[in-house]
Amino acid sequence: MKDLRMSFIGRIISSYTHEVKNYLAIIKETNGLMKDVVEIKKSRGLDEKQFLGFMGCIDEQVGRATAITDYLYRFAHRMEDDRVAVHINDLVDELVALMSRLAYRKRISFDKMLRGGLPTTILNPMLFHYLLFCLIEAKMLCLDKNGVISINTHFSDGYFCITLACEGGALQSSDTTKTSDTGEIGVVAKELGAVISDNGSETVIKVPAVAQVK
Amino acid sequence: MLKDEGHNGLVQKILSCYRKLIHPAASSISTTSLSKDRDTSLKIRIFLLIGTLAGVPLMMIMILSYLSLQGAVKEDFNNQLRGNIESTRQSVEFFIDERISALRFLAAANSFGQLSDEKYLNDIFIKFKREFGELVDLGLIDSKGMQLSYSGPYSLQGKNYSNQDWFNEVAVRGVYVSEVFMGYRKIPHFAIAVKKELPERGTFCILRATIDMVTLNRYVSIVNLKSKDDAFIINQQGILQTQSRYHGNVLEKIAIEIPHPKEEVVLSEVRQNGSTPLIFGYTSIKKSPWILGMTVASTAQSKILDLLTRDMASVYLAVFLIFLGIIANIKISIGLVNWIREAEREREEAIAQTQHSGRLASIGRLGAGVAHEINNPLAIINEKAGLMKDILLMSKDAHIDKEKFIGLIQAIADSVTRCKTITQRLLGFARRMDVRHEEIDLNDTIREVIEFLDKEILYRNIRLETRLKEDLPRIISDKGQLQQVFLNIINNAIDAVEDGGQIMVSTELRNPDRIRVSINDNGQGIAKEKIKHIFEPFYTTKERGKGTGLGLSITYGIVDRLGGSIQVESEVGAGTTFHVELPIRAEAP
Amino acid sequence: MLLVDDEVEFASTLAERLQIRGFDAKAVFCAEEALDMVRSEPPDVVLLDLKMPGMSGVEVLKTIKKISPSCAVILLTGHGSEQCAAEWAADGAADYAIKPSEIETLVAKIDRANEKRPT
């Protein structure tokens, strides 16, 4: 069981790495191109607009790489403590950001609707990441190209509700047995204290809010 | 449980030999069957232990209470016997007393002349006999021992008793009770004689009556309650005066020894050849030459048995309770061992969980470290590109310092390469989170780990040297876990040394199957008495809040599971060396 | 103005860019040198990288503030949070910026810190 969790982390890190490498590649190419241009244009002046374009591009990539690296940093930090006060929205945000590339490969995109101002709760953040990862992965499996996975969070009656729904794309038959109690998802959910309900189109994770212990 | 290991080892050996005999093919025993056998032998041993611990005191109590009960019953028994004997004796004594008194009365109430008259005597005899049916004869004897008158079945005219013991005795004592003799029609009789003083004649006469033993026999035989018991009267020499059931006929000598007859009842245990032991009680009967004896074959034991058989219900109950006790014992033994195993399993799970958390935490730290590292080159790229932009925007003329630009571009390229190395490492690390056993180059692994810690080492100005043996054979193991091991130990070394300290990591081939990795630091060292504790979970010399104390115990666990070993050498003030030995082929757990 | 960062390429390039924008910016690459500079020629603003070998960034911050309290120190870090910001402010930091930052953002922070300096 623990091996699956390890491999999940591995996959997240791989996904991040590939993303960053892509940005780096672009930077490298743009850089190379600049070099070529400078070398070619020996005595004549440089095309300002062109070069600004280059730099802008590099800036953009650097920005993206920085952003995703920040997410990795936050993700990595989640593994340090197994009981800590967290914002559910932050956790969802992190995981979705880190899964973007995996989804992108299947031309699936995310639609986040995270209700603001939710209180914090105490749980095992890495485990929550893992649970969410498993459920999103399950959804990705039954979505074909150009699908959209929407994620909704809100808070009511002392429970955080995270709703996952698929829209668009060709739907293959979903494997609802994955949400059984004995499956990996069931075990993880139980460990978190969360309840998962699946009515075919929507999957809802209900996590009880745990108040901070002084 | 540690002591059990020794015994368990022996049990295992025996069981494995046994198993080898039965199944020669099954010489490789799986751990589950081994631990099952261990469990069974442990259950048996606990069962025996509890059984003994509970059983022994119980047995002792049972024995003690049985003995005390036996004693009490015996006492009661003896008292009863005594009582019997005493009351019988009293009856007999009373009987004798009565007859003596009657005879005395006769002697006193009638004159010598009357008594010498046979007709008169006969008349008295008949009247006497009416009251005392067992009277056989009555006779008067003069002081010289001559039979003067007689009434009875014998013909005793002219008989002279002067030289008989009884005559002399009654002449002196005034009363005499005889022993039993065979009399008329071979029926046992005894005689009572009383002396009548004849003061006017200056002499005396003796009135003598013979009495049938039948009544006395009856007195004695009434006593008998149990089939094996016996009561009888004997004389001082042990010759039976009454009929006994088991000890002979009248006038036979009994086989039992009578040491010293006393006035009170004496009880003794008597063993006769070939038959059960008897309790023999006896006492002397006053005013007679007799001893009253009683033998009792029923013992206290049989009495107790009697009691029990009368109360079968409680016997069944007791047996049932013992049976319940045994079942409870079995259940406890099994339950206890299962509980222990369960607790062990839970403990192992908890440790596995902690190890898992530890591993996660270290991954987390690694990830965070990497993220940090990437930021620097990204920042550089940012600034370089920014500068280029600035220059471009600033320069009025179209001439731009090409050299400068190329330099900046190169700097960007270098930073990108830097990022790439970092991400490569990260990727490799991520991939390895799935692979368990692969071919590993230990030197490379160590180098990678050191790279991860590069910043920290630089930060603290630590000099880290490596002496990695060339051409070290590749080993089959789990790279991720090995990295964790070395990461842990080197981290500890970093913590142990001061800024500017020195750490040396070396690898060598120990023997054809094992490689040794040594990590030495010149830090504070570990005291001798602390060394043996460092691999214990939760043992830490760091202050509260710093470190869980689990690092080394998890490391130890990993190395152990990979089939290797860890040793520590340390000297306070000089430094510490950790030696990790790993097999070239990782053994199956 | 002083830039303190052990990444040579980064510090020197940024210094150059700041010079283009009219700041008298000098880059040093270790804490000791930085403290020497602060002692000899106290700058108005210091851009200080937190993760450097040798003294911890926070210690350097405190020392600078001790040597020259009127110095505004802006901390440069890979990651920040509200908690850290509060701690740093308590230790005397004027502001903080996350690497890599847009030059415009940095300049704005520098200007603001300079204005807020106790004279």
> Would you state the structure tokens that stand for residue A63, as one six-digit string?
């920005």
pLDDT-based confidence at residue B230 (cuts at 50, 70, 90): confident
Per-residue pLDDT at B459: 84
Min Cα distance C86 → chain A (Å) is 19
**Residues B445 and B426 reside in one and the same domain:** no
> Would you state the structure tokens that stand for residue A120, as one six-digit string?
């914090």
- pLDDT per 10-residue tile (average), chain A, 214 residues: 71 80 79 76 67 80 84 83 85 88 80 84 87 83 79 87 80 51 73 84 85 62
Instruction: Locate the DSSP E strands across B524-584.
Output: 565-571, 575-583
Judge whether A157 lies within some domain.
yes
Judge whether B19 lies within some domain.
yes
No. of helices (H) and no. of strands (E), chain A: 5, 7
**Residues A161 and A64 reside in one and the same domain:** no
Higher-confidence position of B369 and B29: B369
Contact criterion met (CB below 8 Å) for B229 and B81: no
Question: Which residue of C16, C19, C29, C47 is the best one to mutate when testing the B interface, meaning the one whose CB has the most B CBs within 10 A?
Answer: C16
Chains near C, with 3+ CB pairs < 8 A? Answer: A, B
B391 interface with C at CB cutoff 8 Å: yes
Chain C 53-112, residues with CB within 8 Å of chain B CB atoms: 53-54, 78-79, 99-101, 103
Q: Is A203 helix (H, G, I), strand (E, B) or coil?
A: strand
> Would you state the structure tokens that stand for residue A144, as one six-digit string?
């074909």
Q: Residue B189 — φ and ψ, nearest 5°? A: -130, 165
Distance CA B127, CA B125 (A): 5
**Residues A50 and A72 reside in one and the same domain:** yes
Whole-angstrom CA distances from B482 to B291, B446, B580 are: 103, 9, 10
Q: Taking CB atoms and an 8 Å limit, are C100 and A73 in contact across chains?
A: no
Whole-angstrom CA distances from B196 to B116, B148, B164, B170, B479 are: 12, 13, 18, 10, 133
Cα A58 from chain centroid (whole Å): 24
Amino acid at position B72, single letter: A
Judge whether A59 lies within some domain.
yes
Per-residue pLDDT at C108: 92
pLDDT in tens, C39-67: 998 889 999 988 777 777 888 888 888 88
Per-residue pLDDT at B587: 43
> Is residue B26 pLDDT above 60, yes or no?
no
> Would you state the structure tokens that stand for residue B564, as one six-digit string?
């290797």
Give B397's DSSP letter: S
Contacts of C7 in chain B (CB under 8 A): 376, 379-380
Contact criterion met (CB below 8 Å) for B291 and B283: yes
pLDDT in tens, B448-468: 888 888 888 888 889 999 999
**Concatenated DSSP letters of A36-104:** HHHHH-SSSPP-HHHHHHHHHHHHHHHHHHHHHHHHHHHHHHTTS-SSEEE-HHHHHHHHHHHHHHHHH
Q: Taking CB atoms and an 8 Å limit, are A38 and B405 in contact across chains?
A: yes
B69 interface with A at CB cutoff 8 Å: no
Judge whether B507 lies within some domain.
yes
Chain B 370-399, residues with CB within 8 Å of chain A CB atoms: 370-372, 374-375, 378, 381-382, 385-386, 388-389, 392-393, 397-399
Mean pLDDT calculated for residue range B542-558: 72
**Residues A155 and A94 reside in one and the same domain:** yes
pLDDT-based confidence at residue B589 (cuts at 50, 70, 90): very low
A56 interface with C at CB cutoff 8 Å: no
Give B186's DSSP letter: G
Mean pLDDT calculated for residue range B527-538: 81
Whole-angstrom CA distances from B144 to B159, B163, B201, B203, B454 are: 11, 10, 13, 10, 147
C69 interface with A at CB cutoff 8 Å: no
Higher-confidence position of B58 and B269: B58
Min Cα distance A113 → chain C (Å) is 24
> Would you state the structure tokens that stand for residue B266, as one six-digit string?
């004496």
Question: A19: domain range?
Answer: 2-77
Judge whether A6 lies within some domain.
yes
Q: Which of A137, C46, A22, A52 is nearest to B393 (CA)?
A: A52
**Residues B424 and B542 reside in one and the same domain:** no
Nearest to C17 among B383, B415, B460 (CB): B383
Distance CA B98, CA B77 (A): 31
Q: Which domain CATH number covers B233?
A: 3.30.450.20
Higher-confidence position of B270 and B19: B270
Q: Which of A29, B555, B383 is nearest to C7 (CA)?
A: B383
**Residues A168 and A105 reside in one and the same domain:** yes
Question: Which residue of C5, C8, C9 is the best one to mutate when testing the B interface, meaning the one whose CB has the most B CBs within 10 A?
Answer: C9
What residue spans define the domains of chain C? 2-101
Judge whether B91 lies within some domain.
no
> Would you state the structure tokens that stand for residue B523, as one six-digit string?
């830090």
**Residues B570 and B463 reside in one and the same domain:** yes
Q: Which of B237-251, B271-285, B452-466 has the highest mean pLDDT?
A: B452-466
Distance CA B348, CA B342 (A): 10
Higher-confidence position of B283 and B404: B283
Per-residue pLDDT at B580: 93
**Residues B576 and B490 reside in one and the same domain:** yes
Q: Which of B229, B329, B234 is nearest to B288 (CA)?
A: B234
Q: Which of B92, B181, B191 is nearest to B141 (CA)?
A: B191
Contacts of B378 in chain C (CB under 8 A): 99-100
Q: Which of C102, C103, C117, C104 is nearest to C46 (CA)?
A: C117
Min Cα distance B17 → chain A (Å) is 37
**Residues B446 and B549 reside in one and the same domain:** yes
pLDDT-based confidence at residue B324 (cuts at 50, 70, 90): very high
Per-residue pLDDT at B548: 61
Min Cα distance A197 → chain B (Å) is 28
Superfamily covering domain C2-101: Response regulator (3.40.50.2300)
Contact criterion met (CB below 8 Å) for B580 and B552: no
Q: Taking CB atoms and an 8 Å limit, are A69 and B378 in contact across chains?
A: yes
* Cβ-based burial of B122 (10 A; exposed 0-12, middle 13-18, buried ≥19): middle
Who's near B483: CB < 8 A, 6+ residues apart?
Answer: B429, B432, B445, B448, B449
Distance CA B200, CA B202 (A): 6
Q: Taking CB atoms and an 8 Å limit, are B415 and C9 in contact across chains?
A: yes
pLDDT-based confidence at residue B432 (cuts at 50, 70, 90): low
Contacts of B432 in chain A (CB under 8 A): 10
Give start and end residues of each alpha helix (H) in chain C: 8-20, 31-40, 57-67, 82-91, 103-116
Mean pLDDT calculated for residue range B168-172: 83
Judge whether A213 lies within some domain.
no
Give A143's DSSP letter: B
pLDDT in tens, B118-128: 888 888 888 88
> Would you state the structure tokens that stand for residue C112, as one six-digit string?
């603001």
Mean pLDDT calculated for residue range B226-250: 79
Q: If you measure CA to CA, which chain A residue comes closest to C81?
A: A74
Domain count, chain A: 2
Q: Taking CB atoms and an 8 Å limit, are A13 and B368 in contact across chains?
A: no
Please report the sign of the dihedral spanned by the C-alpha atoms of residue B110, residue B115, residue B118, residue B122: positive
**Residues B578 and B444 reside in one and the same domain:** yes
Q: Which of B287, B306, B325 is the last residue of a domain?
A: B306
Judge whether B477 lies within some domain.
yes
Count Cβ atoms below 10 Å from residue C33 Cβ, excluding itself: 13
Per-residue pLDDT at A178: 47
Cα A176 from chain centroid (whole Å): 22
Interface confidence (ipTM) of the complex:
0.77
> Is residue B430 pLDDT above 60, yes or no?
yes
Distance CA B119, CA C56 (A): 153
Per-residue pLDDT at B396: 61
> Is residue B2 pLDDT above 70, yes or no?
no
B71 interface with A at CB cutoff 8 Å: no
Contacts of C78 in chain A (CB under 8 A): 73
Who's near B42: CB < 8 A, 6+ residues apart?
Answer: B4, B8, B337
C9 interface with A at CB cutoff 8 Å: no
> Is residue B578 pLDDT above 90, yes or no?
yes
Distance CA B191, CA B183 (A): 10
Tell the residue number behind the tokens 């036996």, with chain if given. B70
Count Cβ atoms below 10 Å from residue A153 Cβ, excluding itself: 22
Judge whether A193 lies within some domain.
yes
When mean pLDDT is compared across A149-153, B125-129, B265-269, B326-330, the lowest value belongs to B265-269
**Residues B195 and B237 reside in one and the same domain:** no
Q: Taking CB atoms and an 8 Å limit, are A70 and C79 in contact across chains?
A: yes
**Interface contacts (A, B; CB < 8 Å):** 139
Min Cα distance C28 → chain B (Å) is 16
Mean pLDDT calculated for residue range B301-309: 70
Judge whether B243 lies within some domain.
yes
B464 interface with C at CB cutoff 8 Å: no
**Residues B579 and B460 reside in one and the same domain:** yes
Who's near B227: CB < 8 A, 6+ residues apart?
Answer: none
Question: B284: domain range?
Answer: 225-306
> Is residue B221 pLDDT above 70, yes or no?
yes
**Residues B453 and B360 reside in one and the same domain:** no
Q: Which of A51, A77, A103 is the last residue of a domain?
A: A77
Q: Which of A49, A77, A105 is the last residue of a domain?
A: A77
Distance CA B159, CA B141 (A): 9
Q: Which domain CATH number covers B511?
A: 3.30.565.10
Mean pLDDT calculated for residue range B97-109: 88
Distance CA A204, CA A132 (A): 10
Per-residue pLDDT at B22: 46
C101 interface with A at CB cutoff 8 Å: no
Judge whether A214 lies within some domain.
no
> Would you state the structure tokens that stand for residue B428, as one six-digit string?
């490799």
Contact criterion met (CB below 8 Å) for B478 and B586: yes
Who's near B489: CB < 8 A, 6+ residues apart?
Answer: B519, B555, B578, B580
Contact criterion met (CB below 8 Å) for C58 and B355: no
Contact criterion met (CB below 8 Å) for C4 and C35: no
Domain count, chain B: 4
